[in-house]
Amino acid sequence: LHYLYIVEWLSNMRWVFLLRHRGEAEGRVLEWKREAELHTGQVLKNLHIDGGEMDTVKLELICRTNGTKLHVNTRSAHEQNGKAEVGIKITNELERESRQGGGAERRFWPYSVPQAILVQNHVPSARQLRQPRTNKDGTSRPRPLAPIEVWQKFRHPGGYRGLWGKIHSIFIQVVGQIPEELRDAHEDPGFVGTLLGRVSAAASTRITESYKVLRHSDRKVMPVRHIEVWPPCTPEVRKYGAAKT
């Protein structure tokens, strides 16, 4: 497996696509390009990609047709696309920390990489967070927007707590509830398992938000709508054990 990393320069919004082989990369870039242009209502002006890492014949034709300027960097010249390279480095570090912190093996990286992207999209950059919170006249500055807020053009009324409310740590033990639409095929609607992260909804079941949980009883990955941390205790207790009195 490989993954394709895309970052939009203005908002710092990031996307990741898991690839079975590198031949899928060009199709994924075109898919993202269509969705981005549909979302913004504008044609993409510039597209930078690393040279030698994907086929670009169809991509070059489409960019030439609709007016997008395609910049293909020299193979292995990572300094030519520094913003993306730094983002990939941060993503790999976050992925490794969350996976190792949860005691998961390396083969579970396809779950921890999307989680790393999810976290980054909901947190402003360190440079933004280091800015003063007040102006010289003592008035408060608006809080920095997270990439997802800039991209979707909204400001969450609950602040950062509201943004982070639905981001769960992965590789923790949870109780999952199977969606009602799928319960007929399962004897027990609730089960204990390991949280692997959030997933996109399946159109056939009309699930708007769901999670993937590795069920402990049979080691199957199950889609669930609601989860609860189990046992219900604070992260410090889960990490260090019961407090002594």
Cα 6 to Cα 141: distance, rounded to the nearest angstrom: 30
Give pLDDT tens digits for 43-101. Answer: 999 999 887 778 888 999 999 999 999 988 777 666 667 788 889 999 999 999 988 88
Q: Is the pTM of this model over 0.85?
A: no
Give pLDDT tens digits for 126-183. Answer: 888 888 889 889 899 999 999 999 999 999 998 888 888 868 788 888 888 776 666 6
Read off the pLDDT of each residue in 94-115 and give the average, rounded to a whole number.
89
What is the residue-averaged pLDDT of the chain? 82
